[in-house]
Copies of this chain bind each other. A is one copy, B any other.
Amino acid sequence: MRPLALLAVLLLAGCNASKDPLPSWNNTPAKQALLAFVQKVTDRSTPAFVPPADRVAVFDNDGTLWVEQPLYVQLLFAASEMKTHAPQHPEWRANPNFVKIIDGPPDAILPLAPADQFAAGFAVHAGRTVEEYSTAAARWLAANEHPRFHKPYTQLAYQPMLELIAHLRENGFQVYSVTGAEIGFVRVANEQAFGIPRQHVIATLLKSKFESAQLQAQPDVLLIDDGDGKPISIQNVIGRRPILAIGNSDGDLPMLQYTAAGPGPRFAALVHHDDPDREFAYDRASAVGHLDKALDAATANGWTILSMKNDWRRVFPNSPQ
Contact = CB atoms under 8 A, between A and B. Distances in A.
Given A210-B254, A222-B223, A223-B222, A198 B239 contact: yes
B239 A215 contact: no
A197 interface: yes
Interface residues on A, range: 20 to 34
Contact of A208 (B174, B197, B232): B232
Interface string A170-191: 0000100000000100010000
A235 B208 contact: yes
Nearest to A199: B238
Contact of A258 (B199, B213, B236): B213
Contacts of A197: 53
B231 A210 contact: yes
A293 to B, nearest CB: 15
A236 B222 CA distance: 10
20 contacts: A53-B197, A183-B236, A183-B239, A187-B239, A198-B238, A199-B237, A201-B239, A205-B236, A208-B236, A210-B254, A213-B257, A213-B258, A213-B260, A214-B261, A215-B235, A215-B258, A222-B222, A222-B223, A222-B236, A237-B237
